[in-house]
Amino acid sequence: MSLKTGDILTFERTFTAEDVEVFTKVSVDEGSHHVTPDEQGRLVIQGLLTATLPTKIGGDNNVLARTMTFEFLRPVFTGNTIICIVKIEKYEKQENNRTAIVASFLCKNGDEKEVLKGDFSGVIL
């Protein structure tokens, strides 16, 4: 797939308790809200686990990120399905045989509430 400025890419994922468990082991982010279920039996997803949604889209397109900005707007819980919408703001060939990319993203839960937004820039090798 060849990207261009203005393209919109999406990825959707439902987070599970197993996802949180594995990420807790890898990140060592063991906050009690990540390991102890709430009164509804849910765990709070680590913010950086939620942030894997836009990075997955970048990875699918061979983006080597140079900067990433995240604004965490509300918690995400196990069982939540999150959709990430990435908009390519800039996609420009460079003289060094690379392509510069700048993108913004917005992640929403099933209730259409924003949970994460931000942007990233980098190059495509």
Question: What CATH number does the domain containing 29 carry?
Answer: 3.10.129.10
Residue 2, in any domain of the structure: no
pLDDT of residue 1: 55
Give the whole-number percent of the chain exceeding pLDDT 90: 83
Q: How many domains does the chain have?
A: 1
Residue 1, in any domain of the structure: no
Residue 3, in any domain of the structure: no
Q: Is residue 68's pLDDT more than 70?
A: yes
Higher pLDDT, 35 or 86: 86
Tokens representing 94 are: 């460079």
pLDDT of residue 30: 76
Beta bridge partners of 50: none
User: Cα(122)–Cα(96) distance, rounded to whole angstroms?
Assistant: 14
Q: For residue 77, give its domain range.
A: 8-124
| Of 27-31, 88-92, 95-99, highest mean pLDDT | 88-92
